[in-house]
Amino acid sequence: MSLFAVQYFYAGDPDAMAEVRPTHVEFLRSLHESGALRVSGPADGGTSALLIFQAESKEELEKTLNEDPFWTAGFIGERPIREWNPFFGSIN
């Protein structure tokens, strides 16, 4: 298993995003409860987010993230996924 740093850069009407947010949060909650999502949260005043995942491969993670309601609704304009190997500290 590898760690991956994912950035979400939001691109959507805030009111429309607010309508979909509960299903997006539930999607992320289920990934966190399964252990795949290690930590996540908003960044840059809420215009983006940083998410750290544990997955077998980038391709597997991308397939999973394609099911995020924010992604399917078109609210994520950019979503870089990078394998990440931290040198210091840990994510428990």
Q: Is the pLDDT of residue 92 over 80?
A: no
pLDDT in tens, 37-61: 999 999 999 899 999 999 999 999 9
Q: Is 37 helix (H, G, I), strand (E, B) or coil?
A: strand
d(CA 87, CA 35): 21
Judge if pTM exceeds 0.85: yes
pLDDT in tens, 64-77: 999 999 999 999 99
Instruction: Check residue 12 and give its pLDDT.
Output: 85
- Using an 8 Å Cβ cutoff, are 60 and 2 in contact? no
d(CA 21, CA 18): 5
pLDDT in tens, 1-51: 899 999 999 998 999 999 999 999 999 999 999 999 999 999 999 899 999
Return the residue matching tokens 């298993």: 1
Domains annotated for the chain, with CATH where assigned, are 2-84 (3.30.70.1060)
d(CA 53, CA 36): 5
The tally of CA atoms less than 13 A away on the side-chain side of residue 39 is: 6
Q: Is 59 helix (H, G, I), strand (E, B) or coil?
A: helix
